[in-house]
């Protein structure tokens, strides 16, 4: 697990009511998790969130424009919320929260994280090192 990414995800937990955060790949693999979240549970969440995102994306036609891009999925339970947003090309950020969380605060923090993660996940272009002999 990438400790730098985990540290970044931990910042989401500064919002009162935020519980856990995961960064997942589009194919459902765990890329990073908050330090207090069990790895086995995080792996299960990553696989499930990949499916949730895929199902959500197929509903764009329901908004009368099948060409719309998916942005966020929000799932409500009796005991809390699950937020899932795009974190760049082929990555998603998921955060769980208690029912008392300020939804505007947590979504704003998630957008901030996505901006930071985008810088970390983007590989800089290679410099032309010249031809090998």
Q: Per-residue confidence at 126, pLDDT binned at 50, 70, 90?
A: very low
As a whole number, the mean pLDDT across the chain is 87
Q: Give the orientation angle of helix 103-121 with respect to helix 3-10, to 10 degrees.
A: 160
Q: Phi, psi (5° rounding) for residue 33?
A: -150, 160
Residue ranges of the alpha helices (H) in 11-122? 39-57, 103-121
- The pTM of the full predicted model, rounded to 2 decimals, is 0.84
Q: Which helix (H) or strand (E) holds 10?
A: helix 3-10
pLDDT digits (tens, 9 = 90+) for 38-88: 999 999 999 999 999 999 988 888 888 777 888 899 999 999 999 999 998
Average of pLDDT values for 95-121?
91
Question: For residue 5, what pLDDT is reported?
Answer: 85
Helix or strand run (H / E) with residue 2:
none
């Amino acid at each position: 697990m990438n400790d730098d990414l985990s540290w970044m995800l931990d910042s989401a937990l500064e919002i009162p009511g935020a519980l856990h955060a995961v960064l997942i790949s589009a194919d459902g693999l765990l890329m990073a998790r908050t330090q207090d979240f069990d790895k086995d549970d995080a792996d299960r969440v990553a696989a499930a969130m990949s499916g949730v995102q895929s199902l959500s994306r197929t509903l764009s036609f329901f908004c009368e424009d099948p060409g719309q891009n998916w942005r966020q999925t929000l799932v409500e339970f009796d005991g809390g919320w699950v937020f899932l947003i795009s974190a760049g090309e082929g990555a998603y950020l998921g955060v769980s929260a208690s029912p008392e969380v300020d939804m505007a605060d947590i979504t704003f923090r998630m957008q901030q994280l996505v901006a930071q993660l985008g810088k970390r996940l983007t590989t800089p272009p290679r410099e032309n090192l010249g031809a090998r002999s």
